[in-house]
Chain A
């Protein structure tokens, strides 16, 4: 079970490309062209060089659970996690479509999208 109700992400000029792609269920990952390193969270200014040249490239949408926690004290329990993408960066997400008691650090996961409305879809992860 995912969360009962998702907070909609605020979309700004810097992140619009990411969210537009997510709406089409395409998962973009920011990449610093100078260092060749992928990074998270999406932004235009590279935290590695300080230059405004970060590109958003299509990601594989696969990764490994770095850590997680199941929140038990809300009306609908949910699993928050950090997933290390195969491209490198570790990102915050929810793990869905899974029995929470089977979630483990090291579990392989893949991206799935939750449509919030016509404006936005949210990338989540499920067992690969």
Chain B
């Protein structure tokens, strides 16, 4: 059974809200689901499988399937933090190709901004039964300082600089100016980034993503149904996923699980790096992008700083246009989980529906990569490669 080309993304939706004090979490999930189904030209009654992760309320899939009135024959609530939704795309593609589902719905939603969550700088609430918790939580690991330790080591081993990391934010902000929904639309300079307040060395405020409410959804189906719906075809070409962790104390924070998920995706998709016209790369922090681009193989390990400099990630300027919606650094980061929006912008690019100022010409093949958990400890990494009908 080949999965390549035997599943399509038929509908997408990104919630326009960035702050939703007037909506419940379940409601946000259902609104993005309805939006993606409408985009596909399908309805709730067509859905026969549902995918969600830890952001779904209550008992996750069970609660949301009941809330939306779905009747299913397949369900998957794989939870790998922000990378979950890229993994869901991989799993849905496999299940569609296997004939276990015809119409798959994937949702993400959250309201950390309305709930006043200090996402980056406050220690997370831990499960006392997590095996690592007693040997990590007392030391004050937060989202920012864990990614900061990866950046510090990368700088030490490869000479990566804050200015090079800043170029990633510059590129994201250059794209975000055209996105009317983006939280941060001002174009920033390298100086703006390195002069912004230090949060946790060596990461500055502008190295960090935004905290936003909102959500997104994806509808996938088999090619026969997708062709009947009238939208540009977005074919699933390949994917990969892995969990990278501390390996019993054999710690190396200079690479991510993208090393494995990317290689698997390229192999399945039967494409080369030069074929990728656009890449959505998870950007919780600038360092996340830099390490991921290296690990996906767009440049040698350690050369990411050079690669991202001088506008190389800016659409119309550089060789690898990335996150043309402004990404997590400028647009949004619903539920503190950015994998969903990475897939959404890749689909827009393949359809030719990105903002005209950032649309990549003839974007026949695009990649989306999600990272979940923390590159400072344990992470889920997932890659998907999408293409136009003849890709």
Seen from chain A, the residues whose Cβ lies within 8 Å of a Cβ on chain B are 3, 6-12, 14-15, 19, 37-43, 47-48, 66-74, 78, 80-82, 84-85, 88-94, 105, 122
Contact = CB atoms under 8 A, between A and B. Distances in A.
Given A40-B249, A73-B199, A11 B145 contact: no
Interface in B131-168: 131-142, 144-146, 148-150, 152-153, 156
Nearest to A42: B135
A54 to B, nearest CB: 10
B69 interface: no
B152 A67 contact: yes
B121 interface: yes
Contact of B138 (A14, A38, A90, A122): A122
Contacts of A47: 247-248
The 7 nearest A-B residue pairs measured at CB: A89-B249, A9-B134, A40-B249, A69-B148, A90-B251, A41-B135, A67-B153
A111 to B, nearest CB: 13
A11 B139 CA distance: 15
A89 B250 contact: yes
Given A41-B134, A72-B200, 18 more contacts: A15-B134, A19-B134, A39-B248, A41-B131, A41-B249, A47-B248, A67-B152, A69-B152, A69-B200, A69-B202, A70-B201, A73-B144, A74-B140, A80-B139, A80-B146, A80-B149, A81-B149, A91-B135
Interface in B181-217: 197-203
Given A82-B149, A105-B153, A11 B134 contact: yes
B2 interface: no
Contacts of A84: 251
Contacts of B363: none
Nearest to B120: A73
A38 B131 CA distance: 17
A56 B297 CA distance: 40
Nearest to A83: B251
Contact of A80 (B134, B135, B141): B141
Contact of A7 (B137, B199, B203, B247): B137
Interface residues of B, number: 40
Given A3-B140, A9-B134, A81-B149, A73 B121 contact: yes
A43 B149 contact: no
Given A67-B153, A71-B144, A38 B249 contact: yes
A69 B149 contact: yes
B193 to A, nearest CB: 16
Nearest to B118: A73
Contacts of B377: 92
